Structure 1
Amino acid sequence: MAEDIKVKLEKYRTAPFDARFPNSNQTRNCWANYLDFHRCQKALDAKGIDTAPCEWYRRVFKSLCPMSWVQKWDDQRGEGTFAGKI
């Protein structure tokens, strides 16, 4: 399984189609992948497991989200004012 993820990450170019977000506006897709990345990291860190599988979500949100949004959300998480549930 880990080898499958490594192969997919090596071949990664841009975010693939996600049937949950069929419209051209990808704002919700960006938000969902940002949250999924941090939830994945939190869950795997708590179990003491390698967080490499979470890298997929990071790459997707990095390709979809404007960096200004990501920076703002990171700042909000640091301040404890982030609106999402991680």
Structure 2
Amino acid sequence: MSETVQEKIKNYRTAPFDARFPNTNQTRNCYQNYLDFHRCNKALSAKDQDVTPCEWYQRVYKSLCPVSWVSKWDEQMENGNFPGKI
């Protein structure tokens, strides 16, 4: 019954329900998954571990967030002025 991370990512279709964000407006969910993706990458990279589990967060934020937001946040990350804590 238990699926591996790889199987979950492969079978991913859309963002699952997250009890932290029960409302219709998914803006906070989008932003939180973006942060979680980059935090996960940073933490696992620092330990020289495989960052494959982080792909889950990336797929979720890419399905929830408008492309314009993601490109703006990526640009801010490159410039070093992203407002979130990563």
User: What is the TM-score of this pair, normalised by structure 1?
Assistant: 0.96
- Matched residues in 1 for 2:71 and 2:11: separation? 26
Aligned match of 1:31: 31
Structure with greater proportional helix content: 1
Superposition pairs of residues 1-86 of structure 1, within 5 angstroms: 4-86=4-86
Q: Deviations over 1:24-79 (max 9, x none)?
A: 00000000000000000000000000000000000000000000000000000111
RMSD after superposition: 0.8
- Matched residues in 2 for 1:35 and 1:9: separation? 18
Number of equivalences: 84
- Matched residues in 2 for 1:55 and 1:84: separation? 19
Q: Which stretches of structure 1, 4 residues or more, deviate above 6 A after TM superposition?
A: none
- Matched residues in 1 for 2:33 and 2:56: separation? 9
Equivalent residue letter for 2:54: C
Equivalent residue letter for 1:67: V
**1:81 aligned counterpart, secondary structure:** coil
Name structure 1 gaps, 5 residues minimum. Answer: none
Equivalent residue letter for 2:19: A
Shift of 1:10: 1.1
